[in-house]
Amino acid sequence: MRGKKIIILGSTGSIGENAVKVASHLTGNVSVVGLAAFSGYKKIAQQAEILGCKNLALANNSSADSLERCAPQGSKIFRGADGILDMIRKSDAELVLCAIVGTAGLFPVIESLKLGKNVALASKEVLVLAGEHAMQAARENAVSIIPVDSEHSAIFQCMEGRDKDALRRIILTASGGPFKDADRSAIERATADSALLHPTWKMGKKVTIDSATLMNKALEIIEAKWLFGLDEKHIDVVIHPQSVIHSMVELVDGAILAQMSEPDMKLAIQYSITYPKRLPGILKPFDFAKFATLDFRLPDRRKFPSLDFAEYAVRQGGTMPAVMNAANEIAVEKFIRGEIKIPGIWKTIEKAMSSHNTIKNPSLDEILSADRETKARIHLSFAVQSA
């Protein structure tokens, strides 16, 4: 094996597929020694063939049976959620890139950090649910959590080599999604099909819906709090439809530093893998003629209350971010199935948060319990309404 040894978790999703492309491009500098996904056995087998990777894990046991029959010769198959952890433990990887959607990424990330492996993190839920636990594990084991989200990667790059005391605030940019110019009545009528028509990025359904409601940016506020050690007063959001400036930092003297590039996740993914080095990438030279105009505006919080939810969750701390995230997950599922409209997503989140008694300094078990209980209450509430 040559180069930095890495594991890609969630390799069959949008971020994971791009990570595989980046790793293939970086052959000679990076060796993928493990791939994990939920159930996409055909795709993970193809990825293993491309990358020469022999350690493969699928969380779904029946899919793992199918993978046994089509994986490259000599592959070792790991099964179930425990199998993913086992693959990480038995690996000599230096870096684990986690792009698993939902709470399933939490324990693989914590385990990787405890084993002294750096983590390239694309799974928002890990820091939203358990930011304090993850950051503590990183500190105790002298390893790093390197952001993969384009926004946090931008902040990470702008802050590189600078003391935190030089920072006045960070400014997360948001595309605004498909409804940035829509009035309230249009948002109330919007369907999942229209919400999935993102004007800039190609992402999975959950993230795309979150972008349409600005909940994606709300989750990023909580991520930024942990990654950069800031409170909500020093984290701002600005709408930037072109998605060329991925985020900015404002320094104490008023200087603003921005990281910009084509709206393509492969740049942030590659930097998270090669950090602290920079290597030739896949992206073509930036075309200034294509992006001759860059626009900015403040988000309309009356139409999009998601940012207010995040700021409240940061102030409350403890289990409140987990409740916000859990309520959003269930509400998005209901919206995609056509059972509620977008305002119903926000109402579901607001109701869950307002009825929750926050547990301060929670254990991982208490966080996961808050997540499960919130989801169960929401499911029950919808069942009663439809009865």
- pLDDT of 317 reads 97
- pLDDT of 387 reads 66
CA distance 295 to 338: 33
Confidence of residue 1 (pLDDT cuts 50, 70, 90): very low
User: Of 297, 352, 343, 366, which Cα lies nearest the Cα of 324?
Assistant: 352
Task: Give the mean pLDDT of 18-27.
Answer: 97
Burial 146-185 (b: 16+ CB within 10 A, else e): bbbbbbbbbbbbbbeeeeeeebeebbbbbbbbbbbebeee
- pLDDT of 106 reads 95
Please provide the DSSP assignment of 73-136 as one string: TT-EEEEHHHHHHHHHHH---SEEEE---GGGGHHHHHHHHHTT-EEEE--HHHHHHHHHHHHH
Say yes or no to pLDDT of 254 above 60.
Answer: yes
User: Of 10, 30, 6, which Cα lies nearest the Cα of 18?
Assistant: 10
- Which residues 6+ apart lie within 8 Å of 234 measured at CB? 167, 168, 169, 170
The single residue listed with the structure tokens 């500190």 is 139
Q: Which CATH architecture has domain 4-148?
A: 3-Layer(aba) Sandwich (3.40)
Say yes or no to pLDDT of 332 above 70.
Answer: yes
Say yes or no to pLDDT of 132 above 90.
Answer: yes
- pLDDT of 47 reads 98
* Cβ atoms within 10 Å of 41's Cβ, excluding its own: 24
Q: What is the pLDDT of residues 142-188, one digit of tens each?
A: 999 999 999 999 999 999 989 999 999 999 999 999 999 999 999 99
List for the chain the helix, strand, coil content (%; round to 5). 50, 15, 35
User: Of 343, 310, 335, which Cα lies nearest the Cα of 324?
Assistant: 310
Q: Do 317-387 and 4-148 fall under one CATH topology?
A: no
Domain 317-387 has CATH 3.40.1190.20: no
User: Of 216, 194, 176, 189, which Cα lies nearest the Cα of 344?
Assistant: 189
Task: Give the mean pLDDT of 196-215.
Answer: 87
Q: In what order do the strands lie in the sheet with 235-239?
A: 235-239, 167-174, 245-251, 256-260
Confidence of residue 6 (pLDDT cuts 50, 70, 90): very high
- pLDDT of 152 reads 98
- pLDDT of 385 reads 84
Q: What is the pLDDT of residues 280-294, one digit of tens each?
A: 999 999 999 999 999
Confidence of residue 2 (pLDDT cuts 50, 70, 90): low
Q: What is the pLDDT of residues 26-74, one digit of tens each?
A: 999 999 999 999 999 999 999 999 999 999 999 999 999 999 999 999 9
The overall average pLDDT reported for the chain is 95
Q: What is the pLDDT of residues 269-281, one digit of tens each?
A: 999 999 999 999 9
Confidence of residue 203 (pLDDT cuts 50, 70, 90): confident
**Domain ranges across the chain:** 4-148, 150-314, 317-387
